[in-house]
Amino acid sequence: MKSIGRLWNSLANPDRIPRLFALILGIVLIAGLFIPLALDNQQLYPRPAPQEQINAQDPLAPYDRGGTPFVERGIVKAQYPQYAPAIGEITAYLSPIAISVKNTTLYYGTSIYSSPGGLIDEILYYTRGFDTVLESSILMMAFVIASWIALNFTMRRDDD
Amino acid sequence: MDITILGSQIIGIIPLGDIVFYFTQFNLFMFATALAFTAIIAISKTETQVEAEFGKLGDRAVTVAKKEFKIRRFLAIICGLATAGAMITGDLFDFTLFVCLTGIVNIGIVGAVRQVDVLDAAYQYGLIAMMASLPLFGGAALILAATGTISLLAINTLAYTTPMMILGSILLFIGVAGETGVAPFFATKAEMFRTPGSPFLLIIHLSSLLILVRLIEILLIINKPF
């Protein structure tokens, strides 16, 4: 009994908890290597075969979903199509700047400026739009906390 | 609505594209609890401690500066709203994002206390929360790969459980434990609950409790042990 008490006491030190957590996580991850891979073929968000669009010299690779804005729908799948009636209609929209960039380089689809006003990703902004809202709020809260701590040094350790 | 999840009827849904919030009697109760507690926190005042002075008969009130009090209340309200959202979401990835938001706000609440012991504990907690985001999102991704969907309503209709779904569930559990589950441990170790300005810190306990209950419901939906 005494040794169990000593074990609990050693766990009561906050420094040891991250190590214990990392150890458990490492054991589970290593054990996970022996789990047989069973992937489902009917994925909700399908992707083209790797390098297929790049080998076809498509400047929008790997995000080319086809279609013409408001005329012909692009290939975008949704879990609940009844809640997304306009799906695929604007997925091919490109702003004038985006079109000029697309005409000059083959790597437009993989560059950072392809998202805002360029390739509108309907999975990000339409079918799964709430995720994008949450992701930005996580980022915002991180900045709020970091800037608050930077502005009012929570504790000046030299004075303590 | 003739879908049943874990024996309870779905009362209603809020569709936001692919992300569908659903209400059953069970998670509606937890949602209402989280919102009610958040409302109480939003209107409550900070606790003041009275310490006896040594060698004299006087008392000394220990209060929290308004600046510190305001940021803690703000973070506590965000934490309550994120917890309430995690209660009703019907999407696994959305759930992990709510848990992540709760975790980062918890770090903020613990880190905004002006005591060295508390800050040391907050640092360790931050390390765990950073490590935990790997199994949290990795577990959700494994479940997506194994089932082809991350909507809980769609997973509920699947008839099978593969070993990969179990591995994903274990990783998800470790991730949630790291993001929110260990927060009360650090808060209690640093004796924050009886420090000045404490009522806001109780949201850490409430959020981790509710999120763990909800996680167990989600794991039962995914793995269907019955």
Q: Can you tell me the distance from the alpha carbon of B10 to that of B14, in angstroms, rounded to the nearest whole number?
A: 11
A10 interfaces chain B, CB cutoff of 8 Å: no
Q: Can you tell me the distance from the alpha carbon of B83 to that of B76, in angstroms, rounded to the nearest whole number?
A: 10
**CA of B17 to nearest chain A CA: how many angstroms apart?**
4
Same domain, A68 and A127: yes
CA torsion angle for B157, B160, B163, B164 (degrees, to 10)?
A: -40
Of A35, A79, A138, the CB nearest to B154: A79
Say which range, A51-55, B145-149, B210-214, B217-221, has the weakest mean pLDDT. A51-55
Q: Collapsing DSSP states into helix, strand and coil, what is residue A147?
A: helix
* 3-state secondary structure labels for all residues of A79-106: CCHHHCCCCCCCCCCCCHHHHHHHHHCC
Same domain, A24 and A88: no
SS3 content of chain A, % helix, strand, coil (to 5): 50, 0, 50
Q: Chain B interface, mutation test: which of A80, A89, A127, A152, most B Cβ atoms within 10 Å?
A: A80
Q: Chain A interface, mutation test: which of B13, B14, B18, B151, most A Cβ atoms within 10 Å?
A: B18
The number of beta carbons lying within 10 Å of the beta carbon of residue B148 is 18
Q: Can you tell me the distance from the alpha carbon of B41 to that of B84, in angstroms, rounded to the nearest whole number?
A: 14
**CA of B28 to nearest chain A CA: how many angstroms apart?**
20
- Asked whether the beta carbons of A67 and A88 are under 8 A apart, the reply is yes
B127 CB neighbours in chain A (<8 A) are: 18
A37 interfaces chain B, CB cutoff of 8 Å: yes
Outline where DSSP puts E strands in chain B: 4-5, 8-16, 19-24, 49-52, 59-62
pLDDT number for residue A40: 82
- Per the domain annotation, does A89 fall within a domain? yes
The total domain count for chain A is 2
- Per the domain annotation, does A144 fall within a domain? no
- Per the domain annotation, does A28 fall within a domain? yes
**What average pLDDT score do residues B33-59 get?**
85
Domain ranges of chain B: 4-223
Bond preceding residue A62 cis, omega within 30 of 0: yes
| B23, β-bridge pairs | B12
Q: Can you tell me the distance from the alpha carbon of A114 to that of A47, in angstroms, rounded to the nearest whole number?
A: 18
Interface touch A78/B100, C-beta < 8 Å: no
- Per the domain annotation, does A112 fall within a domain? yes
The model's pTM: 0.89
Q: Which residue range(s) make up the domain with A23?
A: 2-32
- Asked whether the beta carbons of B37 and B29 are under 8 A apart, the reply is no
Q: Can you tell me the distance from the alpha carbon of A58 to that of A106, in angstroms, rounded to the nearest whole number?
A: 7
The token pair that represents A138 in the structure block: 């996580």
B49-52/B4-5 β-pairing: unpaired
Interface touch A127/B18, C-beta < 8 Å: yes
CA-closest candidate to residue A129, choices A60, A92, A76? A76
Compute the count of residue pairs across chains A and B with CB atoms less than 8 Å apart. Answer: 147
- Per the domain annotation, does A83 fall within a domain? yes
CA-closest candidate to residue B201, choices B94, B87, B90, B109? B109
Same domain, A28 and A73: no
- Per the domain annotation, does A98 fall within a domain? yes
Same domain, A25 and A65: no
Predicted confidence (pLDDT) at residue B7 exceeds the cutoff of 60: yes
Q: For chain A, 160 residues long, give each residue's pLDDT as a single digit of tens.
A: 678 888 888 887 888 889 999 999 999 999 999 988 888 888 777 777 888 888 888 888 777 888 888 888 888 888 888 888 888 888 888 888 888 888 888 888 777 666 555 667 778 788 888 999 999 999 999 999 999 888 876 556 565 5
CA atoms within 13 A on the CB side of A148: 24
A12 CB neighbours in chain B (<8 A) are: 189
